[in-house]
Chain A
């Protein structure tokens, strides 16, 4: 059964690029434009993994990760943050919030797939 990955990013072009890459690998994709939108879309849906940007309006990625981890269904779900910030503290903040891993932008589709395989199997 195809696994479902939610991608959260305020940039439509990033969503498109991630979405196309994921669909090309046979994953189902659910898109959300920011943290708030993502939280609204997770209830009732089966999401096997979340890929989220950090810097977003309404609700940023770190808050989203923290909120998701509070939900029983997302207690152990792999959550990967997309980040251009190379600063260690941003990554640390994400890890502390419960992120599984990170991908540094810009990235190539192969790198994205590599990280997904790493955390999702």
Chain B
């Protein structure tokens, strides 16, 4: 960062201060004991010194410092204000002035004169041990870089409860540590009182931080420089000493076993984890044990990393069909495991339950591992676009720079494969319609080179992929007009801006004035929506006219297993993708009466339309008195789905419905529940679209 500062601000101020200084000194000669006058003199010099140093007037600063040091003694009363002192200070004042004059092109200041003044002043001062009062404060802020590579440090940070009252936010300090390397933080919360005894103005939490960094201990201590006195800080280097202990002595249990003194069974029973034993015997609080366990883990990980780096990364190539098969089998296993759980819960057999729990744990681990095998970094896909952007922008006479972030974000291989085409369309669209030509950009004051930023980031069980450009943005009015012209929208339709933005994904929609060979036939974006939907993803468009457009794709991490919300209608079950679900509300007969038979529900003042699943699929049975409405985000709008009961979250292993079903568009698959029942997975976006089409037809025909 470069802030250009006008030094005349300083010189002007300094001249003013110098004339003030002269007046004060002359007054002081009349009243040498006036404390207020003495501090005024001191302050003037102090300011000249401070500002001088900051504006690069080192000579002024250095000289004034000497004068100030002596005058400070007068201020503190250890040196009487005599005529000699005033004479010398006045001479010093003139000297400062001539240094300033010199900086503005005047004759150079006389250095001998300066030395004489300082010598004179020093002679006045009572002798203290060593004249050098210039305590060099500048604590080297540049941390001593450790060339030996990263080390693990344990930082124990115990702030005093009153730390907030100095305006300190301990979390910021933790963040600072996080910026230094890999960081794991354990909060020690044992001192936290119960809610009624809690004083929110006191800090009850202490932290243990395990930091893997290549910076030295001093850099870590520097983070806490302002709170040194307000906390207990303990920084310890971990890996060096711990790493030596390769040949561990045998554990007591092993020795006893070997000698046949105990059986393995008895040993197992006695071997509750040490931490648990310590906690239950009250020797050490639980949070301290947690911190120690974290320490163990971090050190171990660091060791593993070191040995891993030494090995050559062994890679096995496997045909992806084999992986697909594996994923399928894991899916089956998850289903069977759910059944096992249900049965063991019913039978109430303790042994069976133990096994079932163990299998549940293993299945979850197996599932996560299998999924992670299929995960690929999105980076390779990102790289392809660099070329695309380069070629297209040259072709269109535009200057565009593509930046990417999050290239190491991992996604299911199938998702990545199917993501390529939609992204190509979106980026083409940005290049063609979004970013303006350099001459147009120059007119609007934008940098000539347009920016397209492509990023990927994890968000829960989804990945957000964003294409952001700084082009001309979307005009909601224009979009509406075009849609009406093309008969895609009825002229009296009321659309919010974000709904209008979604129009660009309509079939046969294009706002391009003329069709180029890059885009503009209105096929691309329609395809984008279809492919993203087939990936069970959603699209969100944000745009500001003249500033740019951001298109965000929200995609599930994997296609094989999703988090679903299991609901019941009659005796049948359905699953809604949990990623889309926002909330569940109840619909009472009173609500129905209030809405005069229309299918709308009032959610805290907001009117949300809903679809009754029973009606949609012409299911039999009576509606319950109180219905449940699951509100989901469908294409950027909130839509409710009326069901009888909401059962809960469900790990959904998705099975294809197969070709034998007709009219199954509104379902994106099926899943088998623990008891063997089949539940259908709803494709919310399609469902909403079909209902809308039907309603338009009905009202249009009426």
Does A12 reach chain B (CB closer than 8 Å)? yes
Let me know if B40 and A78 touch, CB within 8 A. Answer: no
Let me know if A95 and B13 touch, CB within 8 A. Answer: no
1/0 per residue, CB under 8 A from B, across A72-92: the answer is 000111110010101100001
Partner of B51, one of A11, A25, A101, A102: A11
A20-B3, A118-B226 known; A105+B54 contact, CB < 8 A: yes
Q: For residue A107, which residues in chain B have a CB less than 8 angstroms away from its CB? A: 54
Let me know if A119 and B1 touch, CB within 8 A. Answer: no
Let me know if B226 and A110 touch, CB within 8 A. Answer: no
Q: For residue A16, which residues in chain B have a CB less than 8 angstroms away from its CB? A: 5, 9
User: CA separation between A110 and B142, bound complex, in Å?
Assistant: 13
Q: For residue A118, which residues in chain B have a CB less than 8 angstroms away from its CB? A: 172-173, 176, 226
Let me know if B13 and A12 touch, CB within 8 A. Answer: yes
Partner of A77, one of B49, B136, B141, B167: B167
Let me know if B47 and A11 touch, CB within 8 A. Answer: yes
Does B255 reach chain A (CB closer than 8 Å)? no
Let me know if B226 and A119 touch, CB within 8 A. Answer: yes
Q: For residue B246, which residues in chain A have a CB less than 8 angstroms away from its CB? A: none
User: CA separation between A75 and B46, bound complex, in Å?
Assistant: 30
Q: For residue B172, which residues in chain A have a CB less than 8 angstroms away from its CB? A: 118-121
Q: For residue A21, which residues in chain B have a CB less than 8 angstroms away from its CB? A: 3
How many pairs, one residue from A and one from B, have CB atoms within 8 Å of each other in the complex?
Answer: 104
User: CA separation between A71 and B168, bound complex, in Å?
Assistant: 16
Does B306 reach chain A (CB closer than 8 Å)? no
A14-61 residues with Cβ-Cβ distance < 8 A to B are: 14, 16-17, 20-21, 24-25, 55-57
Q: Which of B1, B49, B167 has the most CB of A within 10 A?
A: B167
Does B207 reach chain A (CB closer than 8 Å)? no
Does A63 reach chain B (CB closer than 8 Å)? no
Let me know if B13 and A24 touch, CB within 8 A. Answer: no
Q: For residue B166, which residues in chain A have a CB less than 8 angstroms away from its CB? A: 95, 98-100
Partner of A79, one of B13, B54, B164, B167: B167
Task: Output the least CB separation between A14 and chain B (Å).
Answer: 5
Closest chain B residue, CB of each to CB of A99: B166
Partner of B3, one of A75, A87, A101, A109: A109
User: CA separation between A119 and B163, bound complex, in Å?
Assistant: 13
User: CA separation between A12 and B78, bound complex, in Å?
Assistant: 31
Let me know if A13 and B51 touch, CB within 8 A. Answer: yes
Q: For residue B173, which residues in chain A have a CB less than 8 angstroms away from its CB? A: 118
Does B50 reach chain A (CB closer than 8 Å)? yes
Let me know if A13 and B49 touch, CB within 8 A. Answer: no
Let me know if B49 and A84 touch, CB within 8 A. Answer: yes
Partner of B13, one of A11, A57, A111: A11
Q: For residue B47, which residues in chain A have a CB less than 8 angstroms away from its CB? A: 10-11, 14, 55
User: CA separation between A82 and B51, bound complex, in Å?
Assistant: 12
User: CA separation between A92 and B47, bound complex, in Å?
Assistant: 21
Does B201 reach chain A (CB closer than 8 Å)? yes
Does B378 reach chain A (CB closer than 8 Å)? no
Let me know if B54 and A17 touch, CB within 8 A. Answer: yes
Partner of B135, one of A82, A87, A95, A121: A87
Let me know if A106 and B61 touch, CB within 8 A. Answer: yes
Does B165 reach chain A (CB closer than 8 Å)? yes
Task: Output the least CB separation between A15 and chain B (Å).
Answer: 9
User: CA separation between A118 and B177, bound complex, in Å?
Assistant: 11
Partner of A13, one of B13, B137, B138: B13
Does B229 reach chain A (CB closer than 8 Å)? yes
Does B55 reach chain A (CB closer than 8 Å)? yes
User: CA separation between A56 and B9, bound complex, in Å?
Assistant: 19
Closest chain B residue, CB of each to CB of A91: B137
Let me know if A69 and B165 touch, CB within 8 A. Answer: yes
Does B43 reach chain A (CB closer than 8 Å)? yes
Task: Output the least CB separation between A13 and chain B (Å).
Answer: 4
Number of B residues near A (Cβ < 8 Å) is 37
Task: Output the least CB separation between B223 and chain A (Å).
Answer: 8
User: CA separation between A14 and B5, bound complex, in Å?
Assistant: 11
Let me know if A14 and B169 touch, CB within 8 A. Answer: no
B135-154 residues with Cβ-Cβ distance < 8 A to A are: 135-138, 141
User: CA separation between A77 and B172, bound complex, in Å?
Assistant: 14
Closest chain B residue, CB of each to CB of A54: B46
Q: For residue A110, which residues in chain B have a CB less than 8 angstroms away from its CB? A: 1
Q: For residue B385, which residues in chain A have a CB less than 8 angstroms away from its CB? A: none
User: CA separation between A92 and B229, bound complex, in Å?
Assistant: 9
A101-B226, A109-B1, A118-B226 known; A12+B168 contact, CB < 8 A: no
B11-58 residues with Cβ-Cβ distance < 8 A to A are: 13, 40, 42-43, 46-47, 49-51, 53-55
A77-B167, A95-B166 known; A12+B54 contact, CB < 8 A: no
Let me know if B135 and A86 touch, CB within 8 A. Answer: yes
Let me know if B53 and A105 touch, CB within 8 A. Answer: yes
Let me know if B176 and A98 touch, CB within 8 A. Answer: no
Let me know if B53 and A10 touch, CB within 8 A. Answer: no
Does B667 reach chain A (CB closer than 8 Å)? no
1/0 per residue, CB under 8 A from A, across B50-76: the answer is 110111000001000000000000000
Partner of A106, one of B3, B54, B175: B54
Partner of B55, one of A17, A55, A87, A114: A17
Partner of A17, one of B5, B165, B225, B229: B5
Partner of A100, one of B1, B43, B168, B176: B168
Closest chain A residue, CB of each to CB of B13: A13
User: CA separation between A100 and B230, bound complex, in Å?
Assistant: 10
Partner of B50, one of A20, A92, A106, A111: A106
Task: Output the least CB separation between A65 and chain B (Å).
Answer: 10
Task: Output the least CB separation between B48 and chain A (Å).
Answer: 9
Known: A17-B5, A104-B138. 14 other contacts (CB 8 A): A11-B50, A12-B9, A13-B10, A16-B9, A17-B54, A20-B3, A24-B1, A55-B43, A56-B43, A75-B165, A76-B164, A109-B3, A120-B172, A121-B175
29 pairs from A and B in contact (CB 8 Å cutoff) = A10-B47, A12-B9, A13-B55, A14-B50, A17-B55, A20-B5, A25-B1, A55-B43, A55-B46, A57-B43, A69-B165, A75-B164, A76-B201, A92-B229, A95-B229, A98-B166, A100-B166, A100-B226, A101-B225, A104-B137, A105-B53, A109-B1, A109-B3, A113-B1, A114-B141, A118-B173, A118-B226, A121-B169, A121-B175
The 8 residue pairs across chains A and B that have the minimum distance between CB atoms:
A106-B53, A101-B226, A86-B137, A100-B167, A78-B167, A106-B54, A86-B135, A13-B10
